[in-house]
Structures are given as C-alpha cells and as structure tokens.
C-alpha cells in the first residue's frame, strides 16, 4: 500500500509505538487503536503520523466482514473460526462493534467476554469498539483499526457489525469478502432479510445446523442458495459464488468448509485483479466519508457558521424550511 502524503514528523513516542506494534506487541496495538479512535485534535494528529509510518506494512490481510441478526451466534462463530485459523498458523484480529446508546453514548462491549477462549489465544486480537451512532454498523475508525492490525502482522482481520439493518452495509466498503450469518428460518423470515444485504453478501452461512435444527438449517441453506442465484451476479463473483452454506459454530462443524470458500473467493479475486480494484473503490468511499465529516467539523469549529447552522436546523425542525434548501444555504459561500 502506498504511503499517504506526510502530515507532520512523528514524535519519539509515536516512533516507539510503531516499533512495538510492528513487533506484534498486543498492548501496543490496543493503544494504537485507542489513539485512532480518539476525537481529540492532538490525538488525531498523532494517529495520522502513526498511520503514515505504518502504511508500507498494511494491506496484506484478508479482510472478512461479518453481519447477522442479534442472537444468530456471531460471537460463537467468530470464536470457532478464530480458533480454527490460529490452529493453522494464521494470526487473526477481530474488530467487533457494539451498539451505542443514543442517549448516553455508552455501549455494552460484551463481545470480548463472550469469546473468552479466543481472547486468551496469543495469535488472536479482539477489540470491541462502540459504534458511537455511526451508520453502517461499524465504528468511525474501523478502517484505521484494520490497517493497524495488518501492520501488527495479523493476516486475517474479521470485522463484525452491529446486527442487520437497512443501512448496515458499510462493512462491505472496507472488507474483501462479506459474510451474512443467519439462523434456520424460512417463509416470512426469508422474505424479511433485507434485499440490500443479500445483494452484498458473498457468502450466506446458516448457523445452528445441529440437534433438532439441523434439518431446518439445510432447508434454509437451499432456500437462500436459490434466492442468491436469482438476485445476484456481479463482475467480481467467482464461478459458483455467491453461495450458501450450513454450519454449526457450537459444534465447530462446517467451519473448515466455510473458510475454504472464503479463501477460494479471495484468491480468485486477487488473481483476476478484482481485489485491487475493490480496495481502490473502497479508498474513494473512505475519502468521501472523511470529506463529509470534515465539513461538519468545519461548521462546528467556526462560531458564525455554527450559529447559522443551528438557526437553519431550527427552521427545518419546525417545518418552515425544506431540508434541501437549508443545506444549500448552509453551504453558501463555502467554496467561493
């Protein structure tokens, strides 16, 4: 990955942090993620310096996005997959995002405690972060956290999103393979899965294919396989993809087959240049997101514009001014 334009010379502290992170020190990685998640101006400058230093060492991991409805067993699945990977010589990083309270901003951050076995694995790194109200089911700085994990030597980075919802597709804009985890269902439940999520999913895995639910899981897998064939065919779909599989994370059955499918698709995309193109598009999405956020930050930093924006927001909230005209008025003169 090409290094970004330099921002400022890194401090001795940042140089030391980068060195320890590159050596695979998990405490240094955790500290670096905390730094990039901070909103303090001095921390943002330090984070940019750190990422600039580490940029040549990023981009080498397979980035796997994971989403699924609450209760489908995402944590159990991640622990099963993570253990499978580390047992085979991989280093796996897991970035989980918990929903933040719309009132307090706090989050539960329980994923690490639910993945107790994997959290003790020396070749695994688990980092729960609050969504902080971000759309897309991911944290604002999840992209930077991925780069940090890659620089620390993790060759598989799993990004778990907050549930399944209409807007929770942003994870597909920062990962190489997108996995949708579902429970055995059918009929109305199948219809209830958002079409947008299904169209983005490279793999659909029906979990809980064990015990009394095993037969139902296989039927559900067949239903989703049929739905995928009807609704999806894209340039970067390898032959036979997208596909649906059934597995039991609890019994660790079908996990090897799922990983083989992930590796097959990623390998095909790399061989045919699709992964490079995909990451290029993702970089543009990231840049545009930062531009939008930068505009809002600029409004907040300028007292006159902040007051003007507050007045326009009050006009919109009361119904006296249409949102599009208010936005045009807020941006007036900004690029003159």
Tokens of 263: 């590796």
317 band by pLDDT with thresholds 50, 70 and 90: very high
| Mean pLDDT calculated for residue range 281-302 | 87
3-state secondary structure the chain: CCCCCCCCCCCHHHHHHHHHHHCCCHHHHHHHHHHHHCCCHHHHHHHHHHHHHHHHHCCCCEEEEEEECCCCCHHHHHHHHHHHHHHCCCCEEEEEEECECCCCCCECCCHHHHCHHHHCCCCEEEEEEECCCCHHHCCCCHHHHHHHHHHCCCCEEEEECCCCCCCCCHHHHCCCEEEEEECCCCCHHHHHCCHHHHHHCCEEEECCCCHHHHHHHHHHHHHHHHHHHHHCCCCCCCCCCCEEEECECCCCECHHHHHHHHHHHHHHHHHCCHHHHHHHHHHHHHHHHHHHHHHHHHHHHCHHHHHHHHHHHHHHHCCCCCHHHHHHHHHCCCCC
How far apart CA 27 and CA 24 sit, in angstroms, is: 9
Q: Give the range among 74-78, 229-233, 304-308 with minimum mean pLDDT.
A: 229-233
Q: Give the range among 133-137, 208-212, 242-246 with minimum mean pLDDT.
A: 133-137
| Mean pLDDT calculated for residue range 247-271 | 97
Model confidence at 59: pLDDT above 80: yes
CA 282 from chain centre, in angstroms, equals 12
Determine the pLDDT at residue 61: 97
Model confidence at 132: pLDDT above 70: no
Model confidence at 108: pLDDT above 70: no
Q: Which has more pLDDT, 107 or 164? A: 164
| Mean pLDDT calculated for residue range 33-60 | 93
Model confidence at 100: pLDDT above 50: no
70 band by pLDDT with thresholds 50, 70 and 90: confident
How far apart CA 310 and CA 118 sit, in angstroms, is: 47
Strand order in the sheet with 62-68: 124-130, 92-98, 156-160, 62-68, 177-182, 203-206, 243-246
Model confidence at 26: pLDDT above 60: yes
% of the chain beyond a pLDDT of 90? 58
Question: Based on C-alpha coordinates, what's the Rg of the chain?
Answer: 21
Determine the pLDDT at residue 290: 86
Neighbouring-strand partners of residue 66: 160, 179
Determine the pLDDT at residue 116: 85
Determine the pLDDT at residue 69: 79
Q: Other C-beta atoms within 10 Å of 54: how many?
A: 22
293 band by pLDDT with thresholds 50, 70 and 90: confident
Determine the pLDDT at residue 190: 57
Neighbouring-strand partners of residue 160: 66, 96
Query: Per-residue pLDDT tens for 154-189?
Result: 999 999 886 655 445 678 889 999 999 998 975 555
* Dihedral (CA of 156, 162, 164, 168) sign: negative
Determine the pLDDT at residue 336: 58
133 band by pLDDT with thresholds 50, 70 and 90: very low
Determine the pLDDT at residue 165: 53
| Mean pLDDT calculated for residue range 15-37 | 96
Model confidence at 105: pLDDT above 50: no
Query: Per-residue pLDDT tens for 193-239?
Result: 666 778 889 999 999 999 999 999 999 999 889 888 887 678 899 99
Q: pTM of the predicted model, to two decimals?
A: 0.85
Alpha-carbon dihedral angle through residues 48, 126, 209, 247, given to the nearest 10 degrees: 60
Tokens of 310: 């507050």
Mean pLDDT, the chain, whole residue set = 85
101 band by pLDDT with thresholds 50, 70 and 90: very low
Residues 95 and 142 sit within 8 Å (Cβ to Cβ): yes
How far apart CA 122 and CA 83 sit, in angstroms, is: 11
93 — phi, psi (to 5°)? -110, 140
How far apart CA 96 and CA 287 sit, in angstroms, is: 23
Half-sphere exposure of 247 (CA within 13 A, CB side): 27
């Amino acid at each position: 990955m090409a290094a970004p334009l330099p921002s400022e010379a890194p401090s001795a502290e940042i140089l030391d942090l980068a060195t320890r992170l590159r050596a695979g020190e998990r405490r240094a990685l955790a500290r670096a993620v905390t730094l990039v998640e901070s909103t303090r101006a001095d921390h943002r400058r330090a984070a940019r310096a750190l990422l600039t230093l580490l940029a040549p060492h990023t981009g080498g991991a397979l980035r796997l996005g994971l989403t699924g409805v609450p209760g489908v067993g995402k944590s159990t699945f991640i622990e099963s997959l993570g253990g499978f990977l580390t047992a085979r010589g991989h280093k796996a990083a897991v970035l989980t995002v918990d929903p933040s309270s719309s009132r307090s901003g706090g989050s539960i951050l329980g994923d690490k405690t639910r993945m107790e076995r994997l959290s003790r694995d020396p070749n695994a790194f688990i980092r729960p972060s609050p969504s902080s109200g971000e759309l897309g089911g991911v944290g604002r700085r999840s992209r930077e956290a991925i780069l940090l994990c890659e620089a620390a030597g993790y060759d598989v980075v799993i990004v778990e999103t907050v549930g399944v919802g209409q807007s929770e597709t942003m994870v597909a804009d920062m990962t190489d393979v997108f996995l949708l985890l579902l429970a055995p269902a059918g009929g109305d439940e199948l219809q209830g899965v958002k079409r947008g999520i299904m169209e983005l999913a490279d793999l659909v895995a029906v979990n809980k294919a064990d015990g009394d639910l095993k037969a139902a899981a296989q039927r559900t897998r067949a239903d989703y396989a049929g739905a995928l064939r009807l609704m999806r065919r894209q340039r970067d779909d390898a032959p036979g993809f997208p596909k649906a599989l059934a597995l039991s994370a609890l019994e660790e059955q079908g996990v090897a087959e799922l990983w083989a499918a992930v590796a097959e698709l990623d390998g095909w995309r790399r061989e045919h240049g699709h992964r490079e193109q995909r990451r290029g598009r993702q970089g543009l999405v990231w840049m545009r997101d930062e531009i939008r956020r930068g505009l809002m930050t600029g409004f907040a930093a300028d007292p006159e514009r902040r007051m003007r924006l507050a007045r326009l927001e009050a006009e919109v909230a009361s119904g006296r001014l249409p949102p599009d005209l208010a936005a045009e008025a807020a941006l007036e003169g900004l690029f003159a």
